[in-house]
Amino acid sequence: MKTNFENESFEDEHDNYQRGNDSHDIFVERVRSNQSQLTSQLRHQYDFIVCGSGSSGSVVARRLAENPDVSVLLIEAGGSDDVPSVIEANQWPMNLGSERDWSFQGQPNPHVNGRSIPFSMGKVLGGGSSINIMVWARGHQQDWDFFASVANDPAWSYESILQIYRRLEDWHGVPDPMYRGTGGPVFVQPAPNPNPIAPATVEAARVVGIPTFENPNGRMMEAAKGAAISDVRVRNGKRQSIFRSYVYPYMDRPNLTVLSQALVTRLTFQGKRVTGVEIAYRDAIYRIGAAVEVVLSLGAIHTPKVLMQSGIGDEAELQRLGIPVVQHLPGVGQNFQDHVAFDCVWEYETALEPRNNFSEAIFFATSQSGLNSPDLFICQAEVPKTTAENAIRFGLPGAGWTLFGALSHPKSRGRLRLTGADPSDPILIDANTLSDPDDLKTAIACVELCREIGNSAPLRPFAKREVMPGNLKGAELERFIRDAATSFWHETCTAKMGRDSMSVVDSNLRVYGIDNLRIADGSIMPRITTANTMAPCVIIGERAAEILHLEHQLQTSVKTVSGAL
């Protein structure tokens, strides 16, 4: 069996087609039979329980299961990823608002004209990597060096992280051994045969003074500005989710149980030591033990929710809700960050069909001179899109394209709050988008840059007219921005890594004051990374796995625990 199952199941060489399909079918049946048996005979206890099968949790579960003597339970609240809207790359918008989306809604916010911003997150095997736009963006050099600084740990530095990226990638672009890796589990390539508007957009960025690069994840992640054709997790028109790349190849093994449609509701304790999890599964509540550790990888909304429901959080808040306090950690649910973004739209001169993932060009820029890392990033969408408010105000063309500009590092900070002690009680998301006045200034610069690029000579052949915002100034431009502000679905930073009083985990991802509990997902970011967050979440999963292997000496094996529920 190949390490990267996608390389086998989606190979398109004619001579190997039939053999590949035959082995694929045999493997699929082996997985189905094995997982059916494992989930029908759930154990009382596993060595490790990984909660959440997204871009971090899938990595942790796979790396732990590589040791055949370690039993791993991977729990996912959502269901199967074996549906066309997940598999077919060009169907990804159909997942938004579906049963595969948690469909969170932010609180009404006066800074975005009283609007409630929707926050999509994956509720399916693969988490966000099964419903997202499939862009692979590593995070900027300064992002990772900032992580290392606040954690006081060089293992999080850009130099260290770059080595992990080279190890995990299977890069199918122009060879670049200094920056890109081959043979790893993560298939990545530049958007193949892109829509002509994508290279035109890269050229338009160059015309306004943004240098172009061979790809967005090598040298470009060390520069203050740059434009390139996007790197995507798409192969032969099929999505390459992190779950399919990491977990699925190991699901025929007896030591890895993948339990879907199971909601983690609370952690269980003995004093301040986590002993396992409580889950809602098939209309009943179960408690399953973890002999070694529990890893929370539920994402930046559900990870803090489960922590707080389990008694880990701000003491006053927990007491107000009648939740017994296990550990006072006031930073849980604080520091919420996301890439706030704005749609600038043009009508096509001649309509072009979108290709790949509908978004094939990306560029980074600075809003003012003197910055040594980008505070803006912009992705092109090969379809027209905007918020309901601006659709009513400006109208949307039947055929058009969008420059979706975002703030790389917004200064506004949000907060998550429980509404009750019961796990079924919804969580409040006070995103506080655009609450910091500096963010509005940066947003104005972002929209102005989108307009400059969108109206430049290389894109004129593709534009019949600019639909929005047009040449707005002053209060009218501010109104457009507040009505346009929306989420890039990069919710992060709500259980941050660091050493100050608001930090939740240390540099080894241990929850402060609690034994046998780690967090591995986007919530541990001290600050949101530049551009799309899937790739950094894979790194967080790889780092967590490295730490667990070292701490528990897994290369010498951990004794497997048995016994059925």
Q: How far apart are the first and last CA of the chain?
A: 32
Catalytic residue among 409, 490, 549, 552: 490
Q: What is the dihedral of CA 400, 199, 182, 526, to 10 degrees?
A: -60
CA 110 to chain centre: 27
Binding-site annotation, residues for FAD = 124, 132-135, 264, 489-490, 522
The answer to whether the beta carbons of residues 376 and 364 sit under 8 Å apart is yes
**Ramachandran angles phi, psi of 128, nearest 5°:** -60, -30
To the query of whether residue 24 is one of the catalytic residues in this protein, the response is no
What letter does residue 115 receive in the DSSP assignment? B
- Cα radius of gyration rounded to whole Å, the chain: 23
Q: Are 181 and 171 in contact (CB under 8 A)?
A: yes
Pairing of strands 262-270, 273-281: antiparallel
Handedness of CA 310, 316, 317, 323 (dihedral sign): positive
Running DSSP on this structure, what letter comes out for residue 247?
I
Cα–Cα distance between 133 and 92 in angstroms, integer? 7
CB 165 within 8 A of CB 181: yes
User: CA dist 58 to 117, 129, 446, 547, 559, Å?
Assistant: 28, 10, 35, 16, 22
Half-sphere exposure of 354 (CA within 13 A, CB side): 20
Residue 300 tokens read as: 């930046």
Cα within 13 Å of Cα(429), Cβ side:
24
Give all strands (DSSP E) within 9-100, no chain letters: 45-51, 72-75
CA distance 467 to 451: 11
Q: How many other CB atoms are found less than 10 A from the CB of residue 426?
A: 11
- Kind plus residue range of the DSSP H or E element containing 137: none
At residue 142's C-alpha, the angle toward residues 213 and 547, to 5°, is: 110
For residues 516-554, one letter each, b for 16 or more C-beta atoms within 10 angstroms of the residue's C-beta and e for the rest, the string is: bbbbbbbbbbbbbbbbbbbbbbbbbbbbbbebbbeebeb
Q: Annotated catalytic sites, by residue? A: 490
